[in-house]
Amino acid sequence: MNAQTEGRRLTDHQRIAWLRLIRTENVGPATFRDLIDRFGSAEAALEMLPELSRMGGSSRSVRIPSVHEAESELEKLTRFGARLVAIGEPDYPLLLKRTDYPPPLLMVKGNASVLHAPAIGIVGARNASFAGIKFARKLAADLGREGYAIVSGLARGIDTGAHQGSIATGTIAALAGGLDRPYPPENVGLCSEIAERGAIVSEMPFGWEPRAKDFPRRNRIIAGLGIGLIVVEAAQRSGSLISARLANEMGRLVFAVPGSPLDPRAAGTNGLLKQGATIVTEAADVLSQIAPLLDFPPLSVQSLAEPTNPQAAPPPGESDRALVVEALGATPISIDEIIRHTGLHTAQVSTILLELDLAGRLERHSGGTVSLLFADDQP
pLDDT(310) > 70: no
What pLDDT, on a 0 to 100 scale, did the predictor assign at position 303? 44
- Name the class of domain 318-370: mainly alpha
Distances in whole angstroms, Cα of residue 266 to Cα of each of 119, 132, 162, 235: 24, 10, 17, 6
> Which tens digits make up the pLDDT trace of 99-137?
988 999 999 999 988 999 999 999 999 999 999 999 999
Residue-range domain boundaries for the chain: 12-91, 107-295, 318-370
From CA 243, how far away is CA 351, in angstroms rounded? 31
**What letters, b where the CB count within 10 A reaches 16 and e where it falls short, cover 339-366?**
beebebbebbbbbbbbbbbbbbbbbbee
From CA 55, how far away is CA 49, in angstroms rounded? 10
Phi, psi of 168 (to 5 degrees): -70, -25
pLDDT band at 347 (very low <50, low <70, confident <90, very high): confident
> What's the topology of domain 107-295?
Rossmann fold (3.40.50)
What pLDDT, on a 0 to 100 scale, did the predictor assign at position 312? 57
From CA 237, how far away is CA 232, in angstroms rounded? 14
What pLDDT, on a 0 to 100 scale, did the predictor assign at position 301? 39
Instruction: Reduce the DSSP state of residue 66 to 3 states and report it.
Output: coil
Sign of CA dihedral 141, 285, 253, 245: negative
pLDDT(305) > 80: no
> Which tens digits make up the pLDDT trace of 197-251?
999 999 999 999 999 989 999 999 999 999 999 999 999 888 899 999 999 999 9
**Neighbouring residues of 372: CB distance < 8 A, sequence distance ≥ 6:** 325, 328, 329, 330, 356, 361, 362, 363
